[in-house]
Amino acid sequence: MRLHEYQAKNLFKSYGIPVPDGIVAQTAEDAVAAAQSLGLPVAIKAQVHTGGRGKAGGVAVVAEAAQVGPEAQKILALTIGGFRVRQVLVTRAVSIKKELYLSLLIDRNARKTVFIGCAEGGVEIETIAKESPDKILRCDVSVWQLSDLPGQLADEFAQKLCSNGNHAAEAADIMVHMGKLFAETDASLIEINPLAVDDTGSLVAVDAKMVLDDNALFRHPDLLGLREDYLDDPDELDTRRAGLNFVRLEGTIGCVVNGAGLAMATMDAIQRFGGAPANFLDVGGGAGGKKVLTAFKAILKDPRVKVILVNIFGGITRCDEVAQGILEALDQSNVTLPVVVRLTGTNEAEGRALLEGAGLMSAKTMEEAVARAVEMGGSA
């Protein structure tokens, strides 16, 4: 789960990582009020789950009171990287003397967490890594050391990152807090870019990015509340709430598949047979009737869909249960579109029998099912 900048900054603040004061606003009027209480100049920043907001016009530093409203209005009207801007963070603007880069992330190959630093922050770190990799500093840290980072380790790294001794001491302090925050929230990434030196010579996190491990969220009910379901596609939202993984695509073949791997393979097969999937959908394990019904409903709302392809491998999921789900879904949703089903695995015979009893044909192999779906008006 990716956090918004303002959410990450709230966590930073509670862990002792310095951030400029800020207030979130959903309207230009609220932004004006926020700027009044914070004092000018302010930075107005789009809160969207994508980077490069600065380049996209999603960040404005404003010194004049009269400009706050119009600038906020402008940013609130933007769509950045496919994300509509619904709120802005208004922060006290930092007078930036120097921009550094500092992050903490998981290096799966090293099986460790690693601090990445660069004395040239602000810009995309990937670009520096490509053009002058020698400028990228790294420091591997064992996971068990994170919550109580050894001072010496932080000091050594910070001294390489900052030529100024005071800055280095502050950076080391920030690293210790980052380690604790990372460990205690089960994060997979904390990135500060830029970590700025301000005009008083102090370090402050001007930007904040955090990604939390979805698989550990059950341990953090408080953080789960930070999830903002601002998906622009309401069907994606409905299906997600139902525990399905649904992503709308451009094609004409609606897909109901269990397992992300099989769903990917199904997309590939459709393409290979000359068709185009209308969606990616993983109904997950134990796909009972309710999930299948939610899936059908989401797919049927898309007028582009000409045929529905169900591809189920029954492992834990029982084919007869899925078949029952399909029949219920058809019953409740007035499907007039052709439905092609391929069921295999646990209770396959029972599943097939149920479908056949209702006059639905089921294919024996995935190829057969995909070929038939493409044939029935699913070609790209």
CA distance 248 to 270: 15
The active-site residue, picked from 99, 191, 236, 321, is 191
CB contact burial 46-77 (16+ within 10 A = b; e otherwise): bbbbeeebeebebbbbbeeeebbbebbbebbe
Residue count, binding to Mn ion (CB under 5 A): 2
Contacts with 273 (C-beta within 8 Å, 6 or more apart), sequence order: 367, 370, 371, 374
Contacts with 95 (C-beta within 8 Å, 6 or more apart), sequence order: 198, 199
CA distance 360 to 168: 70
Q: Does 193 bind Mn ion (CB under 5 A)?
A: yes
Beta carbon nearer to Mn ion, 205 or 256: 205
Beta carbon nearer to Mn ion, 135 or 220: 135
Question: Which of 5, 170, 207, 235: binder of Mn ion (CB under 5 A)?
Answer: 207
Q: Which of residues 94-153 bind ligand GDP (CB under 6 A)?
A: 94, 96, 122
Angle at 4 between CA 2 and CA 157, to 5 degrees: 75
Beta carbon nearer to ligand GDP, 195 or 340: 195
Question: Which of 10, 54, 69, 120: binder of ligand GDP (CB under 6 A)?
Answer: 54
Q: What residue is closest to ligand GDP based on CB?
A: 54
Binding flags for ligand GDP, 178-207, as an x/- string (CB under 6 A): ---------------xx-----------xx
Which one of Mn ion, ligand GDP, none is in contact with 275 (Cβ closer than 5 to 8 A by kind)? none
Q: Please choose, out of 73-81, 189-197, 244-252, 368-376, the segment that lies near Mn ion by the rule CB under 5 A.
A: 189-197
Which one of ligand GDP, Mn ion, none is in contact with 43 (Cβ closer than 5 to 8 A by kind)? ligand GDP
Q: Please choose, out of 90-98, 158-166, 172-180, 322-330, the segment that lies near ligand GDP by the rule CB under 6 A.
A: 90-98
Q: What residue is closest to Mn ion based on CB?
A: 207
Binding flags for Mn ion, 35-74, as an x/- string (CB under 5 A): ----------------------------------------
The active-site residue, picked from 101, 236, 321, 348, is 101
Whether 339 contacts 373, CB under 8 Å: no
Beta carbon nearer to ligand GDP, 61 or 216: 61
Q: Does 188 bind Mn ion (CB under 5 A)?
A: no
Question: Which of 27, 51, 180, 262: binder of ligand GDP (CB under 6 A)?
Answer: 51
Residue 126 among the catalytic residues: no
Q: Does 103 bind Mn ion (CB under 5 A)?
A: no
Q: Please choose, out of 128-136, 140-148, 201-209, 227-235, the segment that lies near Mn ion by the rule CB under 5 A.
A: 201-209
Q: Which residues would be at the binding site for ligand GDP (CB under 6 A)?
A: 43, 45, 51-54, 59, 61, 91, 93-94, 96, 122, 193-194, 206-207
